[in-house]
Amino acid sequence: MEIVICKTKEEASRLAADMINAAVKKNPKTVLGLATGSTPVLMYNEMAKAVKAKKVSYKQVKSWNLDEYEGLAPTHNQSYRYFMNENLFKKIDIQLKNTHVLNGLAKDLDKECAAYEAQIKKAGGIDIQVLGIGSDGHIAFNEPGTSLTSRTSVVYLTPSTIKDNARLFFNGKLDEVPTRALSMGVGTICEAKKIVLLAFGENKQDAVKGMVEGGVTQFCTASALQMHPDAWVFCDEAAAKKLKLRKYYAWRSATKLGLKA
Ligand code: F6R
């Protein structure tokens, strides 16, 4: 796991966007796995800037999102489909028909999840998976206690995730946050060829510590990324603060990226 530690979340977002833009330039048919939440928004803005400046094109890119709430229509302003349209898809030249988000309204949710896995497989698998991390160490909606080999399925949110999501979205209204969601599994995520995880702010310190320097455990599902051969974590100094070897990680990753450490 490579840990890139930047002074600010703006700088970390820029570097992460550079990595994705470079991959898309190299392979215009890149298959992306995408995340929602507050964390990737700055990176999505950087990707949009590069498209606007004609430095890269997402015309042939296909994407699959990590998760979606159960019961929310794609037009609901808190649905993840809506979020993606507003925060990324409308701002870049990706074709909407090439973007995929789980359908939280599907009649048969298990069938929806199995079909999603099949679609990803048919596309040749995910080349780069974008991730945030929950304050409890979750990736996608894989909460503590989820098998590290799990596949896309219906999942149950913890009270702490419901609280975090109500704080940032849903106008703070706890009882409006759905308690179930459809989510790619940890096993599904770990099959991506490359991982780009973003983590910002003090609220993520414990999760980042657990992911990077804790044991591999289903109590911090992000720790499964320790087994991934090409996982990159872009964080700010606040999120990295509890890492014992943070100076070493910063030096190593900056050297690998050709930056001044
Ligand atoms: C979003 C997702 C979640 C978030 C995580 C962090 O699609 O899968 O795992 O990445 O909950 O959320 P923020 O970025 O809002 O702190």
Q: Rounded to the nearest whole angstrom, what is the distance from the C-alpha of residue 35 to the centroid of ligand 1?
A: 7
| pLDDT at site 22 | 98
137 lines ligand 1 (CB under 6 A): no
Q: Is the pLDDT of residue 261 over 90?
A: no
Residues of the chain with pLDDT > 70, as a percent, come to: 100
Range 82-102 average pLDDT: 98
Q: Which of 39, 100, 183, 195 to mutate to test the pocket of ligand 1 (most atoms within 8 A of CB)?
A: 39
Residues of the chain with pLDDT > 90, as a percent, come to: 95
143 is catalytic: yes
Q: Is the pLDDT of residue 56 over 90?
A: yes
For the CA of 131, the nearest atom of ligand 1:
10
67 is catalytic: yes
Q: Does residue 258 sit in helix, strand or coil?
A: coil
Q: Rounded to the nearest whole angstrom, what is the distance from the C-alpha of residue 130 to the centroid of ligand 1?
A: 10
CB atoms closer than 10 angstroms to residue 9: 22
- Give the DSSP letter of residue 16: H
| pLDDT at site 168 | 81
Q: Does residue 32 sit in helix, strand or coil?
A: strand
- Give the DSSP letter of residue 174: G
129 lines ligand 1 (CB under 6 A): no
Q: Is the pLDDT of residue 158 over 80?
A: yes
| pLDDT at site 9 | 98
Q: Rounded to the nearest whole angstrom, what is the distance from the C-alpha of residue 202 to the centroid of ligand 1?
A: 15
The residue whose C-alpha atom lies closest to atom 12 belonging to ligand 1 is: 37
Domain ranges of the chain: 2-237
For the CA of 39, the nearest atom of ligand 1:
14
For the CA of 203, the nearest atom of ligand 1:
16
Range 49-74 average pLDDT: 97
Range 139-152 average pLDDT: 98
Packing angle of the helix pair 41-52, 9-26 (nearest 10 deg)? 50
The tens digit of pLDDT for each residue in 184-232 reads 999 999 999 999 999 999 999 999 999 999 999 999 999 999 999 999 9
| pLDDT at site 152 | 98
Q: Which of 233, 193, 226 is nearest to 3 (CA)?
A: 233
Q: Is the pLDDT of residue 12 over 80?
A: yes
- 2-237: which CATH topology? Rossmann fold (3.40.50)
Could you give the residue ranges of the DSSP H alpha helices within the chain? 9-26, 41-52, 80-87, 109-122, 159-168, 186-190, 205-213, 237-240, 246-256
Range 86-107 average pLDDT: 98
| pLDDT at site 167 | 85
Range 15-22 average pLDDT: 98
Taking the C-alpha atoms of residue 86 and residue 197, their distance in angstroms, rounded to an integer, is 21
206 is catalytic: no
| pLDDT at site 24 | 98
Q: Rounded to the nearest whole angstrom, what is the distance from the C-alpha of residue 15 to the centroid of ligand 1?
A: 19
Q: Token pair 């700055």 is at which residue?
A: 42
Range 2-12 average pLDDT: 98
Q: Is the pLDDT of residue 260 over 80?
A: no
